[in-house]
């Protein structure tokens, strides 16, 4: 998959998106890294389990640190759903 975001792009996110609905596969989200609390990630949701954990994938698998490296991410780590991007 071709990365949708490039270095220097800016995004707008809805921080309340997941207070009223669950994440869906295909959503692009901002999430706190599960192992490094000071790092935020922008990733695509590829799967959501019934218990609220999400599998996050980067659009460029060869260069991404994502759920393949750190496992499923709890829903409380999601900070918002990306709604817009600006180049």
Note whether residue 60 is domain-resident: yes
Domain range spanning residue 41?
10-86
Note whether residue 22 is domain-resident: yes
Q: How high is the pLDDT of residue 60?
A: 86
CB burial of 46-69 (b: ≥16 within 10 Å; e: otherwise) equals: eebeeeeebbbbbbeeeebebbee
CATH of the domain at 79: 2.10.109.10
Note whether residue 35 is domain-resident: yes
Q: pLDDT tier at 20 (50, 70, 90 boundaries)?
A: confident
Note whether residue 80 is domain-resident: yes
Q: How many domains does the chain have?
A: 1
Digit-coded pLDDT (tens) for 26-85: 999 999 998 898 999 999 999 999 998 999 999 888 888 999 999 999 989 999 999 999
Note whether residue 4 is domain-resident: no
């Amino acid at each position: 998959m071709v990365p949708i975001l490039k270095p220097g792009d800016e995004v707008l996110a809805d921080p309340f998106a997941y207070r009223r609905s669950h994440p869906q596969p295909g959503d692009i989200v901002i999430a706190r890294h599960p192992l490094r609390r000071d790092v935020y990630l922008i990733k695509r949701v590829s799967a959501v389990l019934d218990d609220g954990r999400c599998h996050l994938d980067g659009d460029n698998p060869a260069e991404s640190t994502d759920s393949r490296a750190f496992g499923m991410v709890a829903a409380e780590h999601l900070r918002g759903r990306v709604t817009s991007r600006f180049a």
